[in-house]
Amino acid sequence: MANVGGLGRLGVLAVGLGIGAAVASTPMVASADSSTDPFSWISGLDLGDLPAQSTPTMELAISIDGILLVRDGTANANTGNDDIAIAIGAGAYAVANDGTGNFAYADGSYASADAGVSEGSNNNTAIDIGNNTNSDDGPSAGDGSDNTAIDIGNNDPGIGSGAGAAFGNFNTAIDIGNNTGTDDGPTAYDGNNNTAIDIGNNSGNSDGPTAGEGSNNSATEIGNNSGNDDGANAFVGNGNTVDDDASYSSNFLGPLAGNGDNNLAIVDGDGSTGYAGGYNSEFPGNSDILLISGINDIAGAGGTATSPGSFDIATLFGDFLSSFGATGGDYLN
C-alpha cells in the first residue's frame, strides 16, 4: 500500500513549486522592493567601510623569577631569580634583580622602582606611585639586604629625585610629596637600621632628610623646602634622632643630630635650625639634646668648632631668638 502521508507532502511541494515558477514568470511582480525589504542594505555593504578593530593598550608589564610574563605598551619589568617586578603606566619601569626575594612596583607615567641594585642584595622593596618626567626618577633599595624605599608623589621634573635606601641592611626611606628640584627626597644609607621619612614638597635641589653614616639613626621631616640642601640630618654616628616640623626657603637649613652618638634634635617652627652633637666630626658630641619651638631660631647643643661636648641641652621657645644654647661644656644647661 502506498504511503498516503508521503504522497500528500509531495503534492503540496509540487503545488508550491508551480506557484513559485508562475510568480517568477509574471512581469508585473518585482523580485525585491528595497523600500520594504529590511535586509536590502546587505547587498550594498562594503566590508572595507567597517572601522578597524584595535586592541586597547594596557601599559602593563609583569616579570617573575626572571621571566617576562606580560608586556603591553611601553611599560617594562625585569627580574632575577625569585624576584617580582610590576610596572603600570606609560614608560613605567620596575626592576628587581641582583639577588633574591626583591620586589619592585612602579605605578604611573614614567614611574620607576629599582630593588636589588647590586649583586647579593636580597629582600629589598622599592615602590613608586606617581608620575615622573624622567625614567631615572623614583625609589631605589639595594646595595644591601632588607632595605625599603617608597615614593608616593610626582617627580616633575625632579631629576634624580626619589627615596633611597642603600649601602647597608634594614634601611628605610619614605617620600610622600612632590619633588620638582634635582636629587630631592629622603636617603637612608651607609649603615644599618637607618630611617629617613620626608612628608612635604621639595622645589629646591638636594632637599630632604638623611639618616646614615652609622646605624640606628632616624630623620623625619614634615614641611616644604624651596631652598637648596635643606632638610633634617641624622648621621655620622649611631643612635641619632631628628624630628623636624618646619619649612625652609633659604639654603643649607635644617636640624642635625650627629657627629657623635645618641643625640636628639626636635625642631618645630619654619626656618629654625641647629644641631645636637658635634659641630663637626673632629670635635664630636654625645647624648646632646636640642629643642626649638619657634620661627627662625638657631641653637646648638654639644661640641663646638674647637672642643667636644656631651650631655648638653639647648632649648629655645619663641620666635626670632637666634641665639645659641649649651655647647662644649659636658654639662646640662
- pTM for this model (two decimals): 0.82
Q: Comparing C-alpha atoms, which of 173, 230, 224 is closest to residue 205?
A: 230
The whole-angstrom separation of Cα 231 and Cα 238 is 19
pLDDT bracket for residue 219 (50, 70, 90): very high
- Expressed in angstroms, the distance from the first to the final Cα of the chain is 131
Per-residue model confidence as pLDDT tens digits over 67-107? 999 999 999 999 999 999 999 999 999 999 999 999 999 99
264: phi then psi, degrees, rounded to nearest 5: -130, 130
| Nearest in space to 60 (alpha carbons), one of 73, 42, 45, 46 | 73
CA dihedral 122, 89, 198, 78 (to 10 degrees): 10
265 CB-near residues (< 8 Å, 6+ apart): 232, 234, 241, 242, 243, 244, 255, 256, 257, 274, 275, 276, 289, 290
pLDDT of residue 49: 59
- 213: which 3 cell numbers? 653614616
Give the model's confidence band at 12: pLDDT under 50 very low, under 70 low, under 90 confident, else very high. Answer: very low
Share of the chain above pLDDT 70, in %: 80
pLDDT band (50, 70, 90) for residue 316: confident
CB atoms within 10 A of CB 77: 28
Residue 4: is its pLDDT beyond 60?
no
The cell numbers describing 298, all together, are: 638657631
- The cell numbers describing 158, all together, are 625632579
Q: Quick one: pLDDT at residue 38?
A: 54
Q: Give the C-alpha separation, 149 to 146, whole Å.
A: 10
| Distance set, CA 128 to CA 111, 189, 217 (Å) | 6, 19, 24
Greatest CA separation for the chain? 134
List pLDDT tens digits, range 112-171: 999 998 889 999 999 999 999 876 789 999 999 999 999 999 998 878 899 999 999 999
Q: Poorest-confidence range of 16-20, 203-207, 208-212, 278-282? A: 16-20
The alpha carbons of the chain give a radius of gyration, in whole angstroms, of 36
Are the CB atoms for 195 and 219 separated by under 8 Å?
A: yes
pLDDT over 50 (residue 21): no
Report the distance separating Cα 128 and Cα 134, nearest Å. 13
| pLDDT confidence of residue 118 | 87
User: At residue 292, what are phi and psi to the nearest 5 degrees?
Assistant: -130, 130
| Cα gap 88→71, rounded to integer Å | 10
Higher local confidence (pLDDT), 14 or 56: 56
pLDDT at 275 over 80: yes
Q: Please state, in angstroms and as integers, the Cα–Cα distance from residue 51 to each residue in 46, 47, 121, following that order.
A: 11, 9, 51
What band does 203 get if pLDDT is binned at 50, 70 and 90?
A: very high
Tens digit of pLDDT for each residue in 175-195? Answer: 999 999 999 999 999 999 999
* Residue 254, pLDDT score: 95
